[in-house]
Homo-oligomer: A and B are copies of this chain.
């Protein structure tokens, strides 16, 4: 109706059906026929450069986000002002599921590099989830595995040595790159040593030392943020070594 071109604002509505991540992301839970209803709700295209804030803890929580490109870290700040990195999110992953309860975001989210996201308004998603059983189911699954992975992380922090933690992180990143059909053995770390240390409950210096130790042992080849995994099997061994020795 009128002004066919002038009225078309910058594309906001998502185009899930032609997104390269549709097989990894939310659309996988929705039939071809219903994908349009998803697209009606999702706001696409917000983009952030390195270091920018996507949302901040205790800001009013309205949306979850699907990562389209780049990488994100989430952090929480406790009452004493300490910051803790709670997770890293890569393309195809959904972030912010912890913020559905309460009214405000439970963490802050920052772009680690040039990053774009799709926004999933929580209230709209809840309504749609009631209409699309597979979508509701998928949300329950996503949240459930978020609980699981954060329990696994707690376990890593409470029971494992510095070497095991770092080996685990490298392997986790590796398999998440592989999922996206990228090389599982050669990639750039999207985050700084500092973030790794914080995430793993270690000091930066320890991360640095372990990385060079791994390098000397021929496990990896690392220069700055460029990493090459030279011996994945041995890394997997390391991720279990100490626990094994005990038994």
A interface with B by C-beta (< 8 Å): 76, 78-82, 84, 86, 97-102, 106-107, 126, 129-130, 133, 136-137, 139-148, 150-155, 157-159, 200-201, 240, 243-244, 246-247
Number of copies: 2
Selected contact of A106 from candidates B81, B101, B148, B158, CB within 8 Å: B148
Contacts of A140 in B (CB 8 A): 100-101, 126, 139, 143
Contacts of A155 in B (CB 8 A): 76, 78, 84, 86
* Cβ contacts A to B, 12 pairs, < 8 Å: A78-B155, A78-B240, A80-B243, A80-B244, A82-B159, A86-B155, A97-B143, A101-B145, A102-B144, A106-B147, A126-B136, A140-B143
CA distance A130 to B82 in the complex (A): 40
A63–chain B nearest beta-carbon distance, Å: 13
